């Protein structure tokens, strides 16, 4: 029987084969969304198969025992689905948003896709698509520098290779090896089904059982160990870029850390909308873009400061970023800064929680990193808890004034 609390909007249940299900009732919604979270990403790719998780995501749309890729695409459109999928370093998520009357159809289609045949005749087509994605990413300075940062800052870790993989690994990817990997990674015990909207949880779970109850358990294997962020610097001279990317990374709070929301706030004060970086670096004419963001995983976190500037301005931009970090660490944030950041974060979270499609993505993050769903109100409460004391505690636990790891990418071989 489902685990259900009368005061909770969530119904949770685990099937006999290990597939976990979480359903949130949203009585004011006229639509419904559902999806399958697979707890696997590029961190689980072996080095010689870097990019396999993302390549596999492409193949899941290419055919099943019941449907061709054309029939999959048509089925999504016929039910009016707003659908998508993505692969990150630690998860893959397939989801669709439909009128609530079409939820069972959407569930059936997504469940069918989760048992793809990875049709061999489509494999080469998708290989070329992924290679084109890699080429496009490599032509974008920010993306190229971001991947280079992880490659250099986390050597020996599975975080060191890009989600898309490398041209060499994709070019030599073997379909049969991917198929064996697929059966292991997409084991029901390594997956979570989620649904949100004005739905009947019991009906959803009954339908899910009929669709997935015969999926066979398998051992997904051990996860990757947490990386260690090294300090130092690395440069990559790339003549095709005209600007220089400057990135400075520091160890930060993992996703489930009590100070994770404060880490988001600290990054926003430094480099978000109307931030210190904007007024004191961009508006001073030192560069065209500057910001700061918090990257987090279950076992690892980064605070990353970045800028895109003219090559001759690298030193001045780096000095300005370090100066703003020092000022924040020494003097804290002004009350109006924290209030502005909290207000923007609340607006973002509240608007997302009102639509089943975006609410689903919030639930994915909660389940993957916190182990349980949180209500929209609980998420907002975490934002309201961010204050001067928590900011001070975060900056003490995860300092942003030390050496960190510095990366430069662009036409100049910098830092020397």
156 or 238, greater pLDDT: 238
pLDDT digits (tens, 9 = 90+) for 362-385: 999 999 999 999 999 999 999 999
- 60 phi, psi to nearest 5 deg: -65, -20
Percent of the chain exceeding pLDDT 90 equals: 94
pLDDT digits (tens, 9 = 90+) for 48-69: 999 999 999 999 999 999 999 9
Percent of the chain exceeding pLDDT 70 equals: 99
End-to-end CA distance of the chain: 63
Please give the average per-residue pLDDT across 306-324, as a whole number. 98
Please give the average per-residue pLDDT across 400-414, as a whole number. 97
The neighbouring-strand residues paired with 336 are none
Residue-wise burial string across 199-225, b where 16 or more C-beta atoms lie within 10 A, e elsewhere: bebeebbebbbebbeebeebebeeebe
Residues 6+ apart with CB under 8 A from 183: 218
Whether residue 2 is predicted with pLDDT greater than 80 in this model: the reply is: no
Write down the pLDDT at residue 1: 43
> Within a 10 A sphere around the Cβ of 11, how many other Cβ atoms?
21
pLDDT digits (tens, 9 = 90+) for 126-143: 999 999 999 999 999 999
- The CATH code for residues 3-212 is 3.30.830.10
d(C-alpha 232, C-alpha 248), whole Å: 10
Residue written as tokens 């990413």? 137
Whether residue 242 is predicted with pLDDT greater than 60 in this model: the reply is: yes
Write down the pLDDT at residue 227: 86
CATH 3.30.830.10 in the chain, residues?
3-212, 232-410
The neighbouring-strand residues paired with 247 are 306, 407
The neighbouring-strand residues paired with 96 are 34, 83
Q: Is domain 232-410 given the CATH code 3.30.830.10 in the classification?
A: yes
Q: Which 3-state string (H, E, C) describes 239-305? A: CCCCCEEEEEEEECCCCCCCCHHHHHHHHHHHHCCCCHHHHHHHCCCCCCEEEEEEEECCCCEEEEE
Whether residue 122 is predicted with pLDDT greater than 70 in this model: the reply is: yes
> How does DSSP classify residue 354?
T
Please give the average per-residue pLDDT across 341-357, as a whole number. 94
Whether residue 120 is predicted with pLDDT greater than 70 in this model: the reply is: yes
> How does DSSP classify residue 59?
H
Write down the pLDDT at residue 110: 98
**Its pTM surpasses 0.75:** yes
pLDDT digits (tens, 9 = 90+) for 136-182: 999 999 999 999 999 999 998 999 999 999 999 999 999 999 999 99
Angstrom CA distances, 133 to 8, 37, 84, 103, stand at 42, 23, 16, 32
Q: Are 314 and 273 in contact (CB under 8 A)?
A: no
Write down the pLDDT at residue 161: 94
Q: In this structure, what token pair is assigned to residue 364?
A: 């994915």
> How does DSSP classify residue 225?
P
Q: Are 29 and 203 in contact (CB under 8 A)?
A: no
1 or 267, greater pLDDT: 267
d(C-alpha 180, C-alpha 19), whole Å: 20
Mean pLDDT over the full length of the chain: 95
Measured in whole angstroms, the distance separating CA 164 from the mean position of its chain's CA atoms is 13
């Amino acid at each position: 029987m489902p685990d259900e609390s009368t005061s909770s909007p969530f119904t949770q249940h685990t099937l006999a084969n290990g597939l976990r299900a979480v359903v949130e009732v949203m009585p004011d919604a006229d639509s419904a969304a559902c999806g399958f979270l697979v707890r696997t990403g590029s961190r689980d790719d072996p080095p010689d198969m870097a990019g396999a998780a993302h390549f596999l995501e492409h193949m899941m749309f290419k055919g099943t025992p019941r449907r061709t890729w054309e029939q999959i695409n048509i089925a999504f459109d016929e039910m009016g689905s707003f659908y998508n999928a993505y692969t990150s370093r630690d998860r893959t998520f397939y989801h669709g948003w439909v009128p609530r009357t079409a939820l069972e159809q959407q569930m059936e289609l997504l469940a069918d896709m989760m048992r793809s045949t990875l049709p061999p005749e489509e494999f080469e087509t998708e290989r070329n698509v992924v290679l084109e994605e890699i080429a496009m990413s490599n032509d974008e300075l920010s993306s190229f520098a971001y991947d280079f940062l992880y490659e250099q800052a986390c050597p020996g870790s599975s975080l060191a290779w890009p989600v898309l993989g490398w041209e060499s690994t994709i070019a030599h990817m073997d379909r049969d090896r991917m198929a064996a990997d697929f059966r292991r990674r997409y084991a029901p015990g390594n997956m979570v089904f989620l649904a949100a909207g004005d739905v009947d949880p019991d009906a959803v779970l009954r339908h899910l059982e009929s669709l997935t109850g015969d999926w066979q358990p398998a051992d997904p294997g051990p996860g990757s160990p947490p990386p260690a962020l090294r300090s130092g610097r690395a440069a990559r001279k790339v003549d095709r870029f005209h600007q220089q990317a400057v990135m400075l990374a520091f160890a930060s709070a993992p996703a489930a850390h009590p100070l994770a929301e404060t880490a988001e706030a600290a990054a926003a004060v430094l480099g978000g909308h109307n931030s210190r970086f904007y007024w004191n670096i961009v508006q001073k004419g030192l560069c065209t873009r500057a910001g700061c963001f918090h990257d987090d995983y279950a076992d690892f976190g980064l605070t990353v400061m970045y800028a895109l500037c003219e090559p001759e301005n690298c030193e001045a931009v780096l000095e300005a970023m370090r100066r703003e970090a020092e000022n924040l660490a020494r003097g804290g944030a002004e009350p109006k800064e924290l209030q502005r950041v909290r207000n923007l974060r609340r607006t973002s979270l509240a608007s997302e929680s009102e639509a089943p499609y975006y609410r689903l993505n919030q639930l994915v993050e909660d389940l993957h990193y916190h182990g349980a769903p949180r209500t929209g109100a609980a998420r907002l409460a975490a934002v309201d808890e961010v204050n001067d004391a928590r900011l001070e505690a975060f900056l003490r636990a995860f300092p942003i004034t030390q050496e960190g790891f510095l990366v430069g990418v662009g036409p100049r071989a910098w830092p020397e």
